[in-house]
Amino acid sequence: MTGPSGGGAAPLGRDLDPDPFPLLASWIDDAAKTGPLALATALATSTSDGQPSVRMVLLKGAGPEGLVFYSDSSSRKGSELSANPRAALCLHWPALGRQLRVEGTVLELDPAASDRYFASRPRGSQLAAVVSHQSQTVARRSVLERGMEELAARLEAAPVPRPERWLGYRVVPSVIEFWCQRDNRLHDRWQYRRGQNGWSRQRLQP
């Protein structure tokens, strides 16, 4: 579905599937082939009184049940999601001329799912997740480096236990928007909204 360089992606026409997830899966599959960080995702959260914040996370799964990422629940994003479990995601793929936006509610994954993914991570990343309390202040970097070294020595070859605060999150979409680059900035935008009777879709002006 990609177009030539500078010409944007193939247009999105009226023959779109009434279910947004086949197209979402196709786009993510295409993007994943473009590089190791293609699924880096801007995640926006906000406090209970509406103060927003945004940062990059890695998308680790997507399907009809939602879009999945993992993080430290004691971090700023984790605290905000606990107080206000709604979020927005944005993925931008310039090489494909595409952008994907998602809005929805956020659920915590069950501990078994978090255990499975944590066990699949590189050991260094596991050790760092134990030692680093994300978003908290630290006097100097050497404190973290020494903590990792001490933890690695203490565990030796034993598995690294997942910290209880390290969780998986699922964004359950209520809005999904597909954007395709077109000439003269007259881009294609189609928005899907979830209602009581399923999904509706409409074309938006660029």
Dihedral sign computed on CA atoms, order 39, 21, 89, 204: positive
- Catalytic: 98? no
Q: Which of 185, 193, 194, 203 is catalytic?
A: 185
Q: Rounded to the nearest 10 degrees, how much is the dihedral formed by the CA atoms of 95, 101, 107, 113?
A: -20
Question: Is 102 in contact with 191 (CB distance < 8 Å)?
Answer: no
Percent helix / strand / coil, the chain, rounded to 5:
30, 35, 35
Give the span between the Cα atoms of 3 and 180, in whole angstroms.
Answer: 10
Q: What residues does 172 pair with on adjacent strands?
A: 105
Q: What residues does 58 pair with on adjacent strands?
A: 40
Of 89, 104, 29, 103, the C-alpha closest to 56 is 89
Give the span between the Cα atoms of 7 and 1, in whole angstroms.
Answer: 12
Q: Which residues are catalytic?
A: 185
